[in-house]
Structure 1
Amino acid sequence: MTPQPKAARRSQTSRQAILNAALDLVGEVGYARLSIEGIAARAGAGKQTIYRWWPSKGAVLFDALMMLTEGQDEEAAELPDTGDLEADLKTVLRATVDELNEPRYSEPMRALAVEILVDPVLAADFTERVDQPMKELKLRRLRKAQEAKQLAPEIDLDVAVELIWGPLRSRWLHREGPLTHEYADTIVETVLTGLRG
């Protein structure tokens, strides 16, 4: 294997330090008080270095969150398919609950969700890199269930995705109540009652 040039290694080390600094700081001071200056100081990097790689603090935070999930689920190219749709959806939603209850993920993710509402460039990047690929996975799993006659043939699968994942996202984002496995199970059971026809 060809060794990386020193400049490339330094750039990678600096990038890693910036992303880690963004995650640490947003947990300590919150997103509103997070700044490029603060990230640069914590990472031991120059502000211009950050601006050369990212257009905003939201973009830095997004890449930091993407870094946390890199390589975690190399085999998760599809949602679970054991033949039991209800059990599979409960598994997925329970895992989502666990992730959203993890402070290192949840506070930066909540901040990012709010920033996406006001930053169209960040919103487009999030849609392309996360939202759309995840929606395709969900649609593929529901399409298989529909083909196996586990869901009514006439249902709109795009709407079904919203019905299954929307309540969890809403409760988490608006802090409307505790996120629990029991709540996730109730969503699945309630929604599938309607979708099975």
Structure 2
Amino acid sequence: MAPTKAPDSSRRSDRSRRAIHDAALALVTEVGYRRTTIEGIAARAGVGKQTIYRWWPSKAAVLMDAFLDLAGRAAEDAGAGSGDTGESAPGIPDTGDLVADLKLVLRATVDELNDPALAAPTRALTAEGIVDAKLGAEFVHKLLDPQLALYVTRLRAAQEAGDVRADVDPRIALELLIGPLMHRWLLRTLPVTHAYADEIVDYAVGGLAPRT
């Protein structure tokens, strides 16, 4: 008789983690962060709640890990969809037209903010990060900073090309682009649209361009 193959515990753990991630994201989208519980996540994922507590200390930590995993998968999909270009990391395009490039990326951000699957966990983590300093720092370090760094890189390239004043701080300049969008989205005062994103870029770049 052929020997019985031992179960692959690592693959089983990976499946369980993915099931827990998917359950956490689905519940936050369906019932909201407050009504999402560890018990609910465990039941949805088909695991015991002690399994969750073995890997994460709280539902916020579960959601953070799930969102990081979701973002990583989205980045992989974006890279695969871009063709075999040899580039492994996405970034803001540099076509030589700063306004067009920023509008393209900000419109994509609008689409993400209006996607319920992404909006619900983003709102939850943003709100929880205000009261949980450790979670907030992790949210900024792992999720926000890598995205903001792409803007800094593009704006510095624009400075070198003479399209942005040399005295402009790219880190502050990017806040002129992201800040208004997030403010409107978080407060839900008015719709977040492509047209609004275009106006933000026009207003911001108008103030960044060299004075003549």
TM score, norm. by length of structure 2: 0.87
Corresponding residue of 2:194:
181
Aligned length in residues = 195
Cα displacement (A) at 1:146: 0.6
Tell me, what secondary structure is at the counterpart of 2:167?
A: coil
Corresponding residue of 2:83:
none
Pair 194,72 (structure 1): closer, same or farther in 2 beyond 3 Å: same
1:23 correspondence with 2:7:
no
Letter in 1 for 2:77: Q
Cα displacement (A) at 1:124: 2.1
Corresponding residue of 1:14:
16
How do residues 141-156 of structure 1 correspond to structure 2 at under 5 angstroms? 141-156=154-169
Indicate which of 178, 203, 206 corresponds to 1:165: 178
1:72 correspondence with 2:77:
yes
Corresponding residue of 1:124:
137
Greater gyration radius: 2
Distance 2:77 2:31 in 1: 27
Cα displacement (A) at 1:72: 2.6
Distance 1:148 1:5 in 2: 58
Tell me, what secondary structure is at the counterpart of 1:129?
A: helix
Indicate which of 107, 110, 130 corresponds to 1:94: 107
RMSD of Structure 2 on Structure 1 (CA): 1.7
* Runs of 4+, deviation exceeding 4 Å: none
Tell me, what secondary structure is at the counterpart of 2:183?
A: helix
Identity of aligned residues (%): 55
Output one character per residue of 1:32-90: Cα deviation in whole Å (capped at 9) or x when no partner: 11111111111111222111211221121122222223213334432111010000000
Indicate which of 54, 70, 90 corresponds to 1:52: 54
Distance 2:38 2:102 in 1: 39
Letter in 2 for 1:73: A
Tell me, what secondary structure is at the counterpart of 2:35?
A: coil
Distance 2:189 2:149 in 1: 28
